[in-house]
Amino acid sequence: RFSRSSFAVTQVKTVPTKPIEGQKTGTSGLRKKVKVFMEQNYLSNWIQSLFNSLSSSDVKGATLVLGGDGRYFNKPAAQIIMKIAAGNGVKKVFVARDGIMSTPAVSAVIRKRKANGGFIMSASHNPGGPKNDWGIKFNYSSGQPAPEVITDKIYGNTQSIKEIKMADIPDVNLSKLGTHKFGSFTVEVIDPIGNFSLLSVQSVFDFPLLKSLLSRSDFSFKFDAMHAVTGAYAEPIFVDVLGAKKGSVNNGVPKEDFGGGHPDPNLTYAEELVELMFSPDAPDFGAASDGDGDRNMILGNNFFVTPSDSVAMIAANAQPCIPYFKKGIKGLARSMPTSAALDRVAQKLKVPFFEVPTGWKFFGNLMDAGKLSICGEESFGTGSDHIREKDGIWAILAWLSILAHRNKGKKVGDKLVTVEDVAREYWANYGRNFFSRYDYEECDAASANKMIDHLRSLIAKSKKGDKYGKYSLALADDFKYVDPIDGSVSSKQGIRFIFSDGSRFIFRLSGTGSAGATIRLYVEQYETDKSKHDLDAQEALKPLIEIALKVSKLKDFTGRDKPTVIT
């Protein structure tokens, strides 16, 4: 299992190259089709441009971490990345066995090993395989995604790159744990599972309490790993350590093409789990995670918890239920499109609250400054300041901790507090934020941008009090964020129409796809009347959705008469 190899001298060769179009780095790194990354020097140009963008102290003699979600092309890409790292003077790379390490685990290892940063080979929740997507991103020294000042430099350097520095070293055997030395450069192949479970969750949760729930004969649990990276962690954590029953993990073997599926844990793509959880014999608790393990979906018996509600419900219950938060919560934050449910929890707990653009890096600054404990995004991302990434397994364990705490001391046969009970109690105390997201995937980019320009022209003419059906406009703008920590400004983050009763709809173009443009429509309405909390979200939101589609002229611009995914 453990190997060691050594080579006396590291020779560096300079490979001539030229700029390649289309390498602009988004909020989640660079994502394209696999065949694009396999073109000559495409990946190498981006990696070298990254090293050219970092300070000398973050490259020469630096320590880096390398992992990925196990998708197709990760193995050859890992070898390219290590050779370019060595060619640029990096001292050591910690790489996961077989290159498989979840995004939250990479963040945890960066922090634990005090590394200068790390590479994550993933296109997140996008499909994998030779004809599908691949991606790469860089996380900085505190484990958070690289800030815009770095990603902007990377893009600038991709437009002027002339050479790639690559060490002339053999490929590293990533299938065995061990150390490989090439002159002054070292590669250490590490166990991703031990590193994750020890660093990322055991210090946060009460494992004996969790085991008391998962090992109960009258509690059933199902986790769908979607043939993605969390399949490597699920069985060891949920079954071996916490006592869940054998067979609790579905699709637990990571595959390069995710078993032909779309590893996005939502009601559309996690169809197998959703069908089970809404069946007559549904388990008590169901969950799924995505391609790289940073997203989550939470389900109860015939009950779905929206991501916006999930982060709010975790925050409302965190202090008594999760040991990591027993001394209190520093602050709460959400991405701008996420529903305002979390705002009400912050208000009740009397803790600071922040609304940031979409992108986990914006939470990282607040965490590093000691101002943020729990945060989330409506796109199924939830996390805390134990690391600097959203964390799917953390969110699942947080929910299980709430249930374990609420059912502590109950005997077999007693009625257990359920996911639905927790949710309904929350709505009774805070009100319900009806929320839905419509995704229109792979739209023509030019048409999508024309629609956004049309909306910008509308907000330029809008004024407070304008009527949209029964709704009175309070504010219409293109969201702008000034980071309270470093003063950086992020503009044009989403078109918002906010009404006097707190209802709102938002349009954004997403940067997480690899082809075309994804238009996202977010719709929200707040309801305090308990008699209406049982309404289906689509029914409650229908009038506002119709107004949003009419105002945007989405069908006129894109030709789409229905979304690809509804959440």
pLDDT in tens, 128-162: 999 999 999 999 999 999 988 899 999 999 999 99
Backbone angles phi and psi of 146, in degrees to 5: -55, 135
565, 268 Cβ separation under 8 angstroms = yes
The per-residue DSSP string of 223-276 comes to EE-TTSTTHHHHIIIIIIIT-PPTT-EES-S--TTGGGS----STTT-HHHHHH
Bridge partners of 436?
523
- In the numeric block, the tokens 């179009």 are attached to 21
List strands edge to edge, sheet with 332-335. Answer: 353-356, 332-335, 374-377, 381-384
Question: Within a domain: residue 5?
Answer: no
Do residues 424 and 437 share a domain? Answer: no
Contact by Cβ (8 Å): 87, 167 = yes
Quick one: 436 and 412 in the same domain? no
Distance CA 42, CA 336 (A): 33
Query: Residue 237 domain-assigned?
Result: yes
Pair 188, 286 in one domain: no
Listed as ranges, residues in the chain with pLDDT below 50 are 1-3, 5-9
Is residue 382 in some structural domain? yes
Within-domain flag for 1: no
Please give the residue range of the domain that contains residue 89.
Answer: 12-192
Give the model's pLDDT for residue 10: 67
What's the pLDDT tens digit per position in 239-277?
Answer: 999 999 999 999 999 999 999 999 999 998 999 999 999
Tokens of 355: 């609304």
The verdict on 208 and 298 lying in the same domain is yes
Query: Does residue 6 belong to any structural domain of this protein?
Result: no
* pLDDT score of 326: 96
Look at residues 192, 220, 255 and tell me which one is the last residue of a structural domain: 192
Specify the length of the chain in residues: 567
* Amino acid 359: pLDDT: 86
Please give the pLDDT value at position 27.
67
516 within domain boundaries? yes
> 429, exposed or middle or buried, with CB in 10 Å at 0-12, 13-18, 19+?
exposed
Do 415 and 438 lie in one domain? The reply is no
Task: Please tell me whether residues 451 and 527 are part of one structural domain.
Answer: yes
Residues 6+ apart with CB under 8 A from 556: none
Q: Does a structural domain hold residue 2?
A: no
pLDDT (0 to 100) of residue 198: 54
**Of residues 124, 373, 379, 384, which has the active-site annotation?**
124
Looking at the structure, tell me whether residues 426 and 288 fall in a common domain. yes
For this structure, is 500 an active site residue?
no
What is the structure's pLDDT at 398? 98
- 355 and 454 together in one domain: no
Q: How far apart are CA 109 and CA 94, in angstroms?
A: 9
Task: Domain count for the chain, please give it.
Answer: 3
Domain boundary among 158, 192, 226: 192
Q: What is the pLDDT of residue 195?
A: 58
Q: Which of 146, 164, 192 is the last residue of a domain?
A: 192
Same domain, 361 and 474: no
pLDDT at 155: 95
Write the CATH number for 422: 3.40.120.10
Is residue 3 situated within a structural domain?
A: no
Q: Residue 377 has which token pair?
A: 């995004």
| 378 and 415 both lie in a single domain | yes
Here the CATH number for the domain that contains residue 444 is 3.30.310.50
Q: Are residues 227 and 126 in the same domain?
A: no
Task: Report the pLDDT value the prediction gives residue 318, as an integer from 0 to 100.
Answer: 98
Do 344 and 441 reside in the same domain of the chain?
A: no
| Position 390, amino acid | K
